A = this chain, B = another copy of it.
């Protein structure tokens, strides 16, 4: 089993994969780096939307590593997205040449963190079985605004057999720092999701007979806020291609 440092080295060397199932036992994180002038608004946005934006760590301006991520934030994720004025302008393997001294980086909890616990309890995780990226959807639910930052809630979806939905709720509830309990169970239409086969990010997965689509708040929500709120510049992970931290899953587990 590779250590987080070793996996980050592979990503730095060019490996590009969704990270679900990688480095089980270690927490994964969403990345958002914005110029300092936007940092307060984003930190407040996160505080006001803790289900979708649970902050695990925040760097000082310009820093390229963090307390829970001793790698290099510019190179050690498998893929990055770059936004200018809210427009996605690039997807890249590294962002060293774009880095700025005024970038404050936020590491935000990721639901991949509790997938090991789901698997251990016998709850299947379809996108791991399929070897694809988790499906993610923009919803019709509005986040609480904070200054210049606003946007819709983004959710990830996992199909869960009906008799295991309660177990999935109970298990993921114990990880509030990585999105915690589902925000919605069944009835995707009520979230404004017309077709589960057409995710806004990631890959569609099969929902089998007797399975219920279960929706968790997703750390791509900050990127949806960037698209809406149009800060002059932002760097983020490519959805599903997360920062592998040095923090153990158990750090974020409530008994």
Q: Which residues of A contact B (CB under 8 A)?
A: 39-40, 43-44, 47-48, 55, 58, 67, 144, 169-170, 173-174, 176, 180-181, 254-255
Q: Which residues of B contact A173 (CB under 8 A)?
A: 254-255
Alpha-carbon distance between A48 and B60 when the two chains are bound, in angstroms? 12
In the complex, which residues of chain B have a beta carbon less than 8 angstroms from the beta carbon of A47? 43, 47, 55, 58
A255 to B174, CA, bound (A): 7
Which residues does chain B contribute within 8 Å of A170, judged by CB atoms?
255
Q: Given the complex, which residues of B lie within 8 Å of A44, measured CB to CB? A: 43, 58
Q: When the two chains form their complex, are residues A48 and B58 in contact, meaning their CB atoms are under 8 A apart?
A: yes
Contact at B174–A176, with CB atoms within 8 Å?
Answer: no
**Considering the chains assembled together, what is the distance between the CA atoms of A39 and B39 in angstroms?**
11
- Copies of this protein in the assembly total 2
Q: How many whole Å from A232's CB to the nearest CB in chain B?
A: 18
Whether A254 pairs with B58 at a CB distance below 8 angstroms is no
A-B contact pairs, 7 of them (CB 8 A): A40-B43, A43-B47, A44-B58, A47-B55, A48-B58, A67-B144, A176-B254
CA distance A169 to B180 in the complex (A): 20
| Bound: A254/B253 CA distance, A | 10
CB distance from A116 to the nearest CB of B (A): 19
Contact check, A254 vs B174: say whether CB atoms are below 8 A apart. yes
Q: Chain B residues near A254 (CB, 8 Å)?
A: 173-174, 176, 180, 254
Bound CA–CA A122/B44 (angstroms): 38
Taking the closest CB of chain B, its distance from the CB of A121, in whole angstroms, is: 14
Min CB distance A138 to B, Å, is 24
A169 partner residues in chain B, CB cutoff 8 A: 255
Taking CB atoms, residues of chain B closer than 8 Å to A58 are 44, 47-48
- Kindly state the separation between the CA atoms of A39 and B180 in the bound complex, as whole angstroms: 27
The CA-CA distance from A1 to B207 in the complex, in Å, is: 49
CA distance A24 to B101 in the complex (A): 49
List chain B residues, Cβ under 8 A from A255: 169-170, 173-174, 181
Q: Which residue of B lies closest to A106 (CB)?
A: B47
Residues in B whose Cβ lies below 8 Å from that of A144:
67
Specify the chain B residue showing the minimal Cβ separation from A43.
B43
How many whole Å from A160's CB to the nearest CB in chain B?
17
Q: Which residue of B lies closest to A174 (CB)?
A: B254
Contact partners of A180 in chain B: CB under 8 A: 254
Q: Closest 10 A-B residue pairs measured CB to CB?
A: A40-B40, A254-B254, A173-B255, A43-B43, A47-B55, A173-B254, A176-B254, A44-B58, A47-B58, A170-B255
